[in-house]
């Protein structure tokens, strides 16, 4: 019997696309333990059995330290490499940043589902420094630290045996930064069948943008555009950029913060459209919106171009400016998009397809017999 372990960066924050991939993998390999740097059981009630989770030594640090990711950065390489994965035939990492760099024994096959190279160190550098608003001394210290992290990241990437990623956009980044020659694109799973039951919901007058509120997500563009147009926008999510966004917002823009999965689905299914103002690695919320029968307005870069078929799934815009976004919204309102057709568009990303493709890669690698 093949002994399998799953690894994910952290499980101490609200569920996002990476965590949804992990949940699907955990369902595919129900006996596999889940290794992670940090774990907050309250975030995953009903999603994963806490008895399956194995945490790193970072879990023993005081909460005030554990909840400050930038403070943990110097410690993370040591914590990742200390995860004991001996005794497993197959390790599957779901990595948005760090855990693809785990150490595995010579006889262990490591398949990494890498959502993206760590963005702060690669394609978002040096904007990451600018967003911190740090002074000269701190900028120098952070630059030196990230330079070391980059070297560690390159060394860790060389230890991966098979690569999977979520979009052609992310595949391009893996080839660019890690010089990966072979990478399989398997889009993340979405419960299309479950969400499609909401496609008959009555539409409200609101639009939704759904994201972690950090500067590179460009939620500020949506806030400014909808404030200027006086259209109602609900911002779902939280993060360090929220105070600035609230200062930018006009009376037509509201902030919902973190919401439950049920409320997230309700907001999506009753919205006039989901708005993606930034460049995403994939953008799983775009598929969820389509599955609910809701169109998408998105910046025409990154993973959303693999989700949104123009004039069938929504509208793409080419410039990250207020006028360009508002023109895209106006164009969307002129389209007659049948909700059933939008659900069909989402069908390409259904969970059974994900499971089948993951199984195929694992079997082809010889880790599990067909």
Domain boundaries, position 17: 4-188+350-364
Tens-place pLDDT, residues 280-320: 899 999 999 999 999 999 999 999 999 998 888 999 999 99
Q: What CATH number does residue 50 fall under?
A: 3.40.50
Residues 164 and 302 in one domain: no
Distances 360 to 44, 348, 367, 370 between C-alpha atoms, Å: 28, 17, 11, 8
Buried b (16+ CB within 10 A) or exposed e, 145-169: ebeebbebbeebbeebebbbbbbeb
Tens-place pLDDT, residues 179-218: 999 999 999 999 999 999 998 889 999 999 999 898 889 9
Residues 75 and 177 in one domain: yes
- In eight-state DSSP terms, residue 195 is H
Measured N-to-C along each axis, helices 136-157 and 168-178 cross at an angle, to the nearest 10 degrees, of 100
Residues 14 and 158 in one domain: yes
Residues 266 and 245 in one domain: yes
The answer to the question of residue 46 being in a domain is yes
- In eight-state DSSP terms, residue 297 is E
The answer to the question of residue 105 being in a domain is yes
Query: What mean pLDDT comes out for the span 87-110?
Result: 96
Residues 161 and 63 in one domain: yes
Tens-place pLDDT, residues 238-272: 988 999 999 999 999 999 998 988 999 999 999 99
Q: What angle do CA 147, 148, 150 make, to 5 degrees?
A: 65
* pLDDT at residue number 367: 67
* pLDDT at residue number 197: 92
Helix (H/G/I), strand (E/B), else coil: 331? helix
Which residue bears the tokens 């900028």?
Answer: 139
Q: Which of 289, 137, 320, 317 is nearest to 198 (CA)?
A: 289
* pLDDT at residue number 124: 81
The answer to the question of residue 8 being in a domain is yes
Tens-place pLDDT, residues 24-53: 999 999 999 999 999 999 888 777 899 999
Name the phi and psi angles at 231, rounded to 5.
Answer: -90, 150
Residue 92 has pLDDT above 80, yes or no: yes
Query: What mean pLDDT comes out for the span 54-79?
Result: 90
Residues 36 and 139 in one domain: yes
Q: What CATH number does residue 293 fall under?
A: 3.40.50.2000
The answer to the question of residue 369 being in a domain is no
Residues 106 and 228 in one domain: no
Mean pLDDT of all residues belonging to the chain: 93
* pLDDT at residue number 47: 78
The answer to the question of residue 307 being in a domain is yes
* pLDDT at residue number 128: 80
Residues 125 and 162 in one domain: yes
- Sign of the CA dihedral with 3 first, then 45, 192, and 208 last: negative
Give the pTM.
0.89
Residues 219 and 330 in one domain: yes
3-state per-residue secondary structure call for 13-55: CCCCHHHHHHHHHHHHCCCCCEEECCECHHHHCCCCCHHHEEE
The answer to the question of residue 285 being in a domain is yes
* pLDDT at residue number 149: 96
The answer to the question of residue 294 being in a domain is yes
Beta bridge partners of 207: 233
* Cα–Cα dist 209/268, whole Å: 9
* pLDDT at residue number 200: 87
* pLDDT at residue number 369: 59
* pLDDT at residue number 42: 86
3-state per-residue secondary structure call for 204-272: CCCEEEECCCCHHHCHHHHHHHHHHHCCCEEEEECCCCHHHHHHHCCCCEEEEECCCHHHHHHHHHHCC
Residues 344 and 360 in one domain: no
Q: Which of 31, 219, 218, 178 is nearest to 95 (CA)?
A: 178
Query: What mean pLDDT comes out for the span 135-143?
Result: 88
Name the phi and psi angles at 367, rounded to 5.
Answer: -80, -30
Strand bridging mode 53-55 / 90-95: unpaired
Residues 103 and 148 in one domain: yes
Q: Which of 284, 318, 289, 321 is nearest to 301 (CA)?
A: 318
- Residues 102, 110 contacting (CB under 8 angstroms): yes
Token couple for 321: 């400016």
* pLDDT at residue number 216: 86
Token couple for 8: 């994910």
Which residue bears the tokens 């123009």?
Answer: 310
| Domain total of the chain | 2
Residue 370 has pLDDT above 60, yes or no: no
* pLDDT at residue number 305: 95
Query: What mean pLDDT comes out for the span 17-25?
Result: 91
Strand bridging mode 90-95 / 4-8: parallel
Residues 130 and 196 in one domain: no
The answer to the question of residue 370 being in a domain is no
């Amino acid at each position: 019997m093949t002994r399998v372990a799953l690894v994910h960066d952290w499980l101490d924050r609200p569920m996002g696309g990476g965590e949804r991939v992990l949940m699907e993998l955990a369902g595919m390999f129900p006996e596999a333990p889940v290794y992670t740097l940090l774990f907050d059981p309250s975030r995953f009630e009903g999603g994963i059995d806490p008895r399956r989770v194995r945490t790193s030594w970072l879990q023993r640090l005081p909460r005030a330290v554990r909840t400050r990711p930038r403070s943990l950065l110097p410690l993370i390489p040591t914590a990742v490499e200390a995860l004991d994965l001996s005794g497993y035939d197959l390790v599957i990492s779901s990595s948005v940043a760090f855990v693809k760099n785990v150490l595995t024994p010579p006889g262990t096959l490591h398949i990494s589902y890498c959502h993206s190279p760590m963005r702060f160190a690669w394609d978002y550098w040096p904007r990451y420094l600018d967003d911190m608003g740090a002074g000269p001394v701190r900028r120098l210290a952070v630059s030196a630290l990230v330079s070391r992290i980059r070297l560690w990241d390159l060394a860790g990437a060389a230890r991966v045996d098979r690569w999977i990623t979520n979009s052609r956009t992310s595949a391009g980044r893996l080839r660019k930064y890690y010089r990966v020659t072979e990478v399989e694109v398997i889009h993340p799973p979405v419960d299309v069948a479950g969400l499609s039951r909401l496609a008959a919901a009555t539409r409200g007058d609101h639009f939704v943008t759904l994201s972690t509120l950090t500067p590179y997500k460009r939620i500020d563009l949506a806030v400014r555009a909808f404030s200027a147009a006086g259209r109602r926008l609900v911002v779902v999510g939280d993060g360090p950029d929220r105070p600035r966004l609230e200062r930018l917002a006009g009376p037509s823009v509201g902030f919902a913060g973190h919401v439950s999965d049920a409320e997230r689905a309700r907001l999506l299914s009753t919205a006039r459209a989901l708005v993606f103002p930034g460049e995403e690695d994939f953008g799983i919320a775009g598929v969820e919106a389509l599955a609910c029968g809701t169109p998408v307005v998105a910046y025409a870069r990154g993973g959303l171009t693999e989700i949104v078929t123009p004039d069938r799934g929504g509208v793409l815009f080419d410039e990250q400016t207020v006028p360009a976004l508002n023109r895209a919204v106006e164009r969307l309102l002129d389209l007659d998009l049948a909700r059933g057709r939008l659900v069909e568009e989402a069908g390409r990303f259904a969970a059974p397809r994900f499971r089948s493709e993951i199984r195929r890669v694992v079997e082809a690698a010889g880790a599990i017999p067909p």
